[in-house]
Every structure is written in C-alpha cells, then in structure tokens.
Structure 1
Amino acid sequence: MNSIMKYLQLHNLLLKTFILSICFLGITSCAGQIEKHATALKFIPEQTKIHANSISLKAETLPEYRVDIHDKDYQGNQISGVIRTVFQDSKGNFWFGTQSGLCRKDKNGLVYFDLKNRIGQGVTVHVILEDKMGVIWIGYGGGIAKYDGTYFTNYHEKDILITGGLWSMLMDSKGTLWVGTTHGVFTFDGKAFTPFEIPEGKVNPNFGVSTSKMIHSITEDSKGNMWFATNGGAYRFDGNTLTNISAKDQSLSNFVNQIIERADGTFWISTVNGLFLYDGTSFKSITEKLLGKDVGVGCIFEDNIGTIWFTAKKSDIYNYDGKTFQKIEAKIKITDHTVLPFEVNQDQQKQEGNFLPFPFQVYQDRQQRLWFVGFKGAYRFENNAFVNVTRIGPW
C-alpha cells in the first residue's frame, strides 16, 4: 500500500513538473518572438535643453522668402521653399516642418524656431506629432526634439541620428515612439534608442536618399498592428511576428513609400510601380489602368468623406471617390492677399500655375480643409483651385 502511495505521489510530482515545463517553454517562446525583433543593443543620445524664446524669430522680422531670386514672376513671401510636413495641434496652432527648420502659426503670428543638429547646422524637419500630454515631437534629419510649451529638449545620436538619418516617426497608441531612419527602425523611451530588427532591402538608385535599411513611413492600424514602408517591402508587426506582406504578390514593388488604413479596414500601399489595395488576403492594382504599370505613387491620404488623394509622377495630383479617378488641374486661385507685380497678368498666372505644390504630404486640418505641402511652399485646395498660403496667409 505504501509503495502504491509513493508511486502516485511521484507520478503527480512528475506530472506537475512536466506541465510547468510546458508552460515555461510557452512563455519563453512567446517572449522570444518579441525579443528577437528588439536587440539588447541601445543607443544613448546626447540631450540639450533650450528655451524656445532664445531660438525664435518672428516672420515679420525676416527678409522676404523667394523660391527663386532670379524669377520675376510673383512668388509671394513663402513660408519656405520646401515644406516637408504640416500639422495642426490640439490648440489649433499650425506647425510646418521645412527644409530650413521649424515654424509655428498661432494667434500671435508666424514664428520660426532655429533648431540645430549636433554639429550646429540647420535642420530639415520631416515629422511633427503630438502626444497625449500635449507635448509636440519634432523629427528632423539629425535628431529629435520635444517641445513642452516652454523648452525644446533635443536628442542627438551620432551613429543613427546622423544628418539626414531620420525619415519617419510615429507615437503609437501605447505611447511608444517609433523612429524610422536610413539605418532602420528604433523605439525611443525618452532615455535610449533600441533597434527593432527588420530585414534589409535594396538601394533605390532613382532616389536621392536611399539605403538598404530605409524606412519611409510608419503607421499603426486600428487593431494595434505596426506597419513599415521599406526598401524591402511592406512589413506588419502584430506584437509577436513580423511579416513581409508584399512578399505575397510579385507584382508589388519592394520599394514601398507609404501605407494607410482606410475607414473600411482595407490597406492602400503606394510604391514605385503604382498604388495597391490590400484586403488582408490579396493585392489589387488601383492605378495600372489609369497610369500604366510602372508609374510611381508617392503620398496618399484619405479625407473625412472617404476620398483618396494621391500623387503620381512626383507632381501629378489625383483623387478617387470609390468610383472615379480625377486628375486635379494645375490652377491657382488669386486671393485678396496676393499682390502681383505689374509684370504679371493675373489671368496668365492662373493658367500657368507656376507655384503649384510638388507634394510631400496631403493633410486635412480640424476645419476639414485640405493642405498640400512640398516644393514651392504650402497650398490649400479650395473650390477646385489651389490657394498659396504664404507668411501673410490666408489662414
């Protein structure tokens, strides 16, 4: 009898040990799926803090900005010759990231902030966003800055945030800051940058800035999945597994520019050979019949009524309402703020459209107005025409 009891006790002990070992393996397996994408290597940035007033300049104190000093046609007093991004914060202020730095339009006027990189050079601002605490984050070629309403805190890192290194940035729903650079993806917790491993792609010889680890854009979908547009395809990370979505279809280029999720749950992916719809299973070319097979599509955006806006051949602008494609005519609306010199005829200016955007971004503000920013400044699309927004408006 005693021997039977001892046998049962031993059997139960072995069974518990087996179950615990299986649970442990399951836990470490799941953890391993996450950890294999985030390496132990961390990059500690240099930090500098500076009062906003010490680097701010009011627009009215600056010389008039001309896109081309040799061009006699009217150019307006542009916000900048190249605007990479526009963002409206929760207070209604407009922020512009430009080739020559950062500026903000608030109730007191337009102010420029003279941000510098780690070696004292001016910066190109690619991304502006706001976190849940109302802090403004600015991603520029050589670093990151956060603005708390009084001070800018700058983060510089000589190995990954080199000049021109930062290209995209996103604050996800959990408060993690994702940073896309020419050296790959990193997460930032306010203290250190941690690499997030994504396979290398290829260098695009047709782009001025291109690396095998280039991250063009980052987005988070409605389910909390992270999406990365890279030179190696479109990647999705569900918290455990990183998947190359574009590998499912050979017609989709590995050179991906942007990924957005539409309100209907489908994904639209812009590439160097067109715009594609991904329904979670298969891909469909949206632009092949319209533009041809190998025409590149740049930025894409869905407005509040479900219309898709996108750029093709770098400067052509189209929209799609779900049934019909429309190419937007190159036409500028002359406003009361526009003062033309005597050399320029207003009707001729309307037809020529000399200062239409070469868009880097399409954006809709809180007043539901559409902005197009890029080469030659900032524009709003109103009443089927572009309105050039200069330093003096119209706001």
Structure 2
Amino acid sequence: MFPLLLISCKGPVTTDISEEKNRHDSLIDSQKDLQKTTPQQEKIPNDNLVPLFYPGQLCHWIRGIYEDSKGNLWFGTNHYGVMRYNGRILQYFTEKEGFGGNRVSGIAEDDEGNLWFGTTGGLTKFNGESFEIYSEKEGLLDNWISTMTLDSKGQIWVGTMDGLNIFDGSSFETLAIPKPQIEKPEPILSHNRITSILEDKNGIMWIGTDGYGICKYDGQEFTHITTENGLADNNIAQIWQDSQGDVWVGTMFGGVSHFTNDAVTNYHAVGIIKLVEAVGFYEDRAGNIWFAVEGDCIYRFDGKNFVNYNEDD
C-alpha cells in the first residue's frame, strides 16, 4: 500500500492507491503467464497511430528501463506513465495516481534511494511511499522534460523544451547554453530543446540540442561540436559513453557519430547506418555495442564490424 503525494495550490494532498479506482485497477501477477496477460485494454485509451498492445507486450512504446537498488524494474512509457515490476507484481503509475506526467523521458536514483523521473508534467520524486512533483512553479524552465541525468555530485541535470536546469534537490539553477553559428538550424520541436545529457568519465558534460549539435561544458567554458567540425547531424537523439571511454552519438538524420579521443567517425559516411534516428545504445559483457535504428531494427558492433539484425532474423 503506497500513499501518493499530490502537489496542489492548497498544499500537498495524500492519496492512497488502494482507494484510487483507476484505469489500471488490476495488478499483474508474474506467476500467471505474462505472455498471455495484458492490462485491461478497454480501460486504457488506444493510440490513434499505433496499436496499444501487441501479444505479450506491456505497452507499445517503452522509452526506458531502469533497475533500482532494490532490484525493481521501472519501465518508462510514452503515454501511460511508469510501470514497476518487483519480480512478482507489475504496477502502473500515471497522472491519476499523482505521477508527474504520462510521458517518461528519464529515470535515475540518488544516493538516498529516491527515484527521479523526467516527465511531461515536471520532475517527479518517489521516496518509496509517495510522489512529489517539481514544476515551473518551483523554477523549472518548462514542465515538458525531454531528458535528465544525475551527475557525480548528486545534481540532477534537467533538459526541457526551453533549456537546461540543474537541480540540487531543493532549487533549480538555469544554465544558459550558448548557440553556435549555424546558417540554417532546423530544430524538430524547439530552438531551446535539450535532447540528451551525458557526464563523461572526465566530468565533462555533453549536452545534445535540437538543431545546434553538441555543447560540451567543463564547468567554466563551452565547446561546440557541429557538422562544421565533424558531427554527423546537428539534431541529437542520444549521447552515450562505453566502458572504454568512447562517446557514441545517435542523431536524428545522420546516423551515428563515434568519438574516440579527439577523432570522430561517422558511420553513415561509410555506408553502414542509414540517415535516420539512432538510439538505445547498450554494451554487453563481451564489449559489443548494440543500438537501434529507426526502421532498420538493431545493430551490433564488435569493435571492427557491424551486424544488422532485422525482422528476417
């Protein structure tokens, strides 16, 4: 039983989940066959473009998966809030239960065990018992969070549709990101949108933008990386670092850029990756790099060669 904390103009309001009759009013027990059990579809609005559920799926679009320190798996969705799976029970949390927003763009856990979620309704904190929402009223630039990350100092970097905030747990600081000189920037959603944030092994922040490439920040100075100095595309989808310290950049229209020390390789240029969105980077135990490419399924890179796995496989 989890009480939920809702933020309102009259102060915090606590709601008990057991008393909340919501569209996900049933819990899914994993002892049943999850491949045959899906949430009650008639109580969840279907997407106009994509079917909500396919057989065996929890939701048609999972934006991210995170395992917390207790071993719970959290699934951030594109329309239906967040799901928590504890190894036995699958539970949904949405705006109706006090969750910040139904589109989840990031999940992180701080040193005190609090979970943080970037959503379309602000920054949501979960302390294990209740949700607390931090929004524009508390100084967030925009409630629509597009990306977030927890840095080595315990600060939360929050990328929004209108710029970048740094949150210390109590207040938001705005970090103004300078724009490089680009003749014809072509943002997809907003000139100020921050799309991805990475702290590399040297403590440098890599900040992805919507049409203005990457901005690196060392705490004092900004350095720009754009198509003018080697980047595959100025519209950034994801920035990720592997165990060797190489930085991989998935772009929206230019495939993948691979940064090794001071060198960059654009794999679309050698005819490997299509000029479409690349995201979902992951390194397996053998050191292979995996990522997804829109409309072209997944790729595996073993350090020398790429293998494409698609529907035929």
- When normalised by structure 2's length, the TM-score is 0.77
Alignment match, 1:240? 220
Alignment match, 1:59? 27
Alignment match, 1:289? 270
Distance in 1 between residues matched to 2:146 and 2:48, nearest whole Å: 29
Alignment CA distance shift 1:51-1:138 (3 Å): farther
Distance in 2 between residues matched to 1:161 and 1:315, nearest whole Å: 35
1:133 CA drift (Å) = 1.3
Alignment match, 1:323? 304
Q: What is the CA RMSD across the aligned residues, in angstroms?
A: 3.4
* Counterpart selection for 1:256 from 224, 231, 236: 236
1:176 CA drift (Å) = 0.5
1:304 CA drift (Å) = 3.0
1:313 CA drift (Å) = 3.4
Q: Secondary structure at the match of 1:212?
A: coil
1:216 CA drift (Å) = 1.1
Structure 1: gaps of 5 or more residues: 1-44, 332-384, 386-395
Moved over 6 A (4+): 65-72
Aligned residue runs from structure 1 range 1-395, under 5 A: 48=12, 50=14, 53=17, 57-60=25-28, 62-64=39-41, 75-76=54-55, 78-98=57-77, 99-115=79-95, 123-157=102-136, 160=140, 162=142, 165-200=144-179, 204=186, 207=188, 210-231=189-210, 232-246=212-226, 249-250=229-230, 252-271=232-251, 272-291=253-272, 294-330=275-311
Distance in 1 between residues matched to 2:54 and 2:81, nearest whole Å: 20
1:217 CA drift (Å) = 1.0
1:121 CA drift (Å) = 8.9
Distance in 1 between residues matched to 2:14 and 2:133, nearest whole Å: 8
Please say if residues 102 and 113 of structure 1, whose CA atoms lie closer than 8 Å, have aligned partners that are also in contact: yes
The more displaced of 99-108 and 55-64 is 55-64
1:244 CA drift (Å) = 0.9
Alignment CA distance shift 1:122-1:116 (3 Å): farther
1:174 CA drift (Å) = 0.5
Q: Secondary structure at the match of 1:224?
A: coil
Distance in 2 between residues matched to 1:287 and 1:294, nearest whole Å: 6
Q: Secondary structure at the match of 1:322?
A: coil
User: Which of the pair is proportionally richer in helix?
Assistant: 1
What is the letter of the counterpart of residue 283 of structure 1? V
1:315 CA drift (Å) = 4.6
Alignment CA distance shift 1:296-1:50 (3 Å): same
Between the aligned residues of both structures, percent identity stands at 32
Q: Secondary structure at the match of 2:307?
A: strand
Alignment CA distance shift 1:149-1:308 (3 Å): same
What is the letter of the counterpart of residue 125 of structure 2? K
Instruction: Report Cα offsets for 1:178-233 as digits up to 9, x if no partner.
Output: 1001111101123322111112477646x4xx111111111111111111111211
- When normalised by structure 1's length, the TM-score is 0.62
Alignment CA distance shift 1:70-1:264 (3 Å): closer
- Count of residue correspondences: 282
